[in-house]
Amino acid sequence: MTTTADLRAVVETYWSAADARDWDVFATTLADEVLYDLPQTRERIRGKERYLRFNREYPGDWRVRVERVVADGQGRQAAVRTRFTVGAEELPAIHRIPPWILRPSGRRGIGLLRSRARSGVSPPGRKAVL
């Protein structure tokens, strides 16, 4: 059974690896069938490899820091408040992370991400990875 501490550790690893651009570590936090929804830009990315590419190729100089992680007592779902810095602009976001999908190795990985940030449009060139 996954504990709240386990869930928090995966979430924190996910975001710290993203910020460091450590895509090998980042990949260890993902389920193969990850689905990433960005309703504000109408982007939807399916699958681990596409999601890795989406993040690797994200344009511009950006940073992300976790402000808060809230996880349920059974270690099944979480919500994360982050702050992205893109150039001089700071963008707050809340990410809902349910359900956690059991990976074949027995470890858990992020299976579904929904991001709630400001409305916007996809950056130029992004359609190729969707």
Query: What DSSP string runs through 39-70?
Result: TTTTEEEESHHHHHHHHHT--S-EEEEEEEEE
The confidence score (pLDDT) of residue 127 equals 46
Place of tokens 């990976």: 103
**Whether pLDDT at 61 is above 80:** yes
Domain boundaries, the chain: 4-118
Could you report the per-residue pLDDT of 77-92, keeping only the tens digit for each?
788 899 999 888 998 9
Tell me how crowded residue 24 is: count the other CB atoms within 10 A of its CB: 8
Going by C-alpha positions, the residue among 71, 66, 73, 114 that lies closest to residue 92 is 66
Predicted local confidence at residue 41, as pLDDT = 81
| CATH class of this structure's domain 4-118 | alpha beta
Rounded average pLDDT over 85-100:
80
pLDDT value of residue 115 = 46
Six-digit token pair at 3?
């504990």
What pLDDT, on a 0 to 100 scale, did the predictor assign at position 68? 92
Instruction: Give the mean pLDDT of 49-75.
Output: 88
